[in-house]
């Protein structure tokens, strides 16, 4: 918890916590956490995608690697725990095992991924996808720093990936449980929608003759709210943005999520038709630009079963729940089995400075990860 506090003070903005991909603040964060990793006896490096990696090497020939971790980047005006808690819980669990003299039959590598939130380039999982080798040409064209594709790791190198993360929701708190096991991660569609109308004088253009882009956008926002899935319009840019000028153009973001990919994609297409219909009716052009489409991910049954067994030792019951938020586990699922553990957070608040976790809950998460690795080690012995 002390480490979370110290890391939470590393920011690129005065007065609030913000760390974006390849920023000076990210470099300071990597140096700080890397120092703790070295102090724990781990071989530490930063790869071509700015991911921080700390490795505990075992003595078994031909051994594979268990990858642990989460991300060290943040949203703007973030809390201290979304991402970093998973990196630091993994480090604490490794420290416990090393202090006990435990010898695992696989290597353990802790990753502090450089970009999960996608703030800088509006493309999520940049760090973990670089490591997985799944970046596209379009992704690479967006990124100013060249050579990040060299962070790609070999297929078959990892036996699995396990991530600890705050829940970012209220379910665990309502159930009175410190931790829960994740069943899967919802798929995401991210898009930009631009309504192009015509600017005009606010006092002279009759209401019936207006081509008001903001009025069209507002109607579309209400349609998103009623689409039946978890969908959000999170940003609106109104141009020219003057109080006495009819808005001529509005650009907005659309985020649609669901565990069922077919239903999510059908909802996106339905919303596209609604945007076009609104545009035709209001004589406003609707421009639809896909930004990202990420498939839903099911957590690995065998690893999840082990995680549940580890939870039993700490809690009176095991609760399984889906994740509506995206995580680096979604990117790593392309190259290895994945499992996730959620930690209760106060009132489910996340992406906000009010993020809060109990020290006792974090202690349980560390104990669960220790148990998880020991049980996994027994299977590979």
Q: What is the CATH number of the domain that holds 121?
A: 3.40.630.10
First vs last Cα of the chain: how many Å apart? 33
Query: For residue 197, what pLDDT is reported?
Result: 98
Three-state DSSP class for residue 378: helix
Same domain (yes/no): 138, 231: no
| Angle formed by the axes of helices 213-225 and 261-282, nearest 10° | 150
Same domain (yes/no): 242, 271: yes
Same domain (yes/no): 195, 161: no
Same domain (yes/no): 137, 109: yes
Same domain (yes/no): 202, 129: no
**Torsions phi, psi of 356, nearest 5?**
-150, 140
d(CA 119, CA 99): 38
DSSP 79-113: -S-TTHHHHHHHHHHHHHHHHHT---SSEEEEEEE
DSSP 122-180: S-TTHHHHHHHT---HHHHHH-SS--GGGG---TT-EEEEEEEEE-SSSHHHHHT-SEE
The answer to whether 300 touches 185, Cβ cutoff 8 Å, is no
d(CA 218, CA 359): 43
Exposed, middle or buried by CB within 10 Å (0-12, 13-18, 19+), for 358? middle
d(CA 82, CA 36): 19
Three state DSSP letters for 268-323:
HHHHHHHHHHHHHHHCCEEEEEEEEEECCEECCHHHHHHHHHHHHCCCCCCCEEEE
Per the omega criterion (within 30 degrees of 0), is the bond before 113 cis? no
Domain that holds residue 253: 188-294
305-354 pLDDT per residue, tens: 999 999 998 888 899 999 999 899 999 999 999 999 999 999 999 999 99
State which residues of the chain have pLDDT below 50.
Answer: none
Same domain (yes/no): 348, 239: no
Residue that finishes a domain, picked among 272, 294, 316: 294
Residue that finishes a domain, picked among 238, 271, 294: 294
Same domain (yes/no): 73, 163: yes
Query: For residue 10, what pLDDT is reported?
Result: 98
The answer to whether 94 touches 108, Cβ cutoff 8 Å, is yes
Residue that finishes a domain, picked among 294, 315, 335: 294
Same domain (yes/no): 41, 51: yes
Same domain (yes/no): 289, 274: yes
Same domain (yes/no): 334, 271: no
The CATH number of the domain holding residue 256 is: 3.30.70.360
Same domain (yes/no): 44, 172: yes
Number of domains in the chain: 2
For residues 253, 257, 260, 266, the Cα torsion angle rounded to the nearest 10 degrees is -30
Same domain (yes/no): 32, 179: yes
CA 139 to chain centre: 17
d(CA 292, CA 326): 12
| Angle formed by the axes of helices 359-380 and 301-312, nearest 10° | 130
The answer to whether 137 touches 316, Cβ cutoff 8 Å, is no
């Amino acid at each position: 918890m002390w480490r979370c506090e110290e890391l939470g003070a590393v920011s690129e903005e005065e007065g609030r916590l913000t760390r974006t991909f390849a920023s000076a603040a990210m470099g300071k964060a990597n140096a700080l956490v890397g120092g703790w990793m070295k102090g724990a006896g781990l071989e530490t490096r930063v790869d071509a995608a700015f991911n921080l990696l700390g490795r505990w090497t075992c003595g078994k020939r031909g051994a594979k690697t268990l990858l642990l971790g989460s991300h060290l980047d943040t949203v703007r005006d973030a809390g201290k725990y979304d991402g970093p808690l998973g990196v630091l819980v993994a480090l604490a669990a490794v420290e416990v095992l090393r202090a006990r003299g435990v010898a695992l039959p696989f290597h353990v590598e802790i990753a502090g991924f450089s970009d999960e939130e996608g703030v800088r380039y509006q493309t999520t999982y940049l760090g973990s996808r670089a490591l997985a080798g799944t970046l596209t040409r379009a992704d690479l064209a967006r990124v100013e720093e060249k050579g990040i594709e060299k962070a790609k790791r070999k297929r078959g190198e990892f036996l699995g990936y396990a991530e600890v993360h705050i829940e970012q929701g209220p379910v665990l708190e309502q159930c009175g449980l410190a931790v829960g096991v994740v069943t899967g991660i919802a798929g995401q569609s991210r898009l930009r929608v631009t309504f192009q109308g015509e600017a005009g004088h606010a006092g002279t253009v009759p209401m019936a003759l207006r081509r008001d882009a903001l009025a069209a956008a507002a109607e579309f926002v209400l349609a998103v709210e009623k689409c039946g899935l978890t969908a959000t319009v999170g940003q609106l840019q109104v141009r020219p943005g003057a109080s006495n000028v009819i808005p001529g153009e509005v650009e907005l973001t659309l985020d649609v999520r669901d565990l069922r990919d077919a239903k999510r994609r059908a909802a996106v297409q339905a919303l596209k038709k609604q945007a076009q219909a609104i545009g035709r009716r209001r004589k406003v052009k609707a421009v639809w630009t896909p930004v990202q489409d990420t498939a839903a991910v099911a957590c690995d049954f065998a690893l999840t079963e082990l995680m549940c067994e580890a939870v039993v030792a700490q809690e009176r019951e095991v609760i399984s729940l889906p994740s509506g938020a995206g995580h680096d586990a979604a990117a790593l699922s392309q190259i290895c089995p994945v499992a996730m553990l959620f930690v209760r957070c106060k009132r489910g608040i996340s992406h906000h400075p009010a993020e809060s976790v109990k020290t006792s809950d974090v202690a349980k998460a560390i104990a669960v990860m220790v148990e998880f690795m020991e049980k996994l080690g027994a299977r590979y012995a």
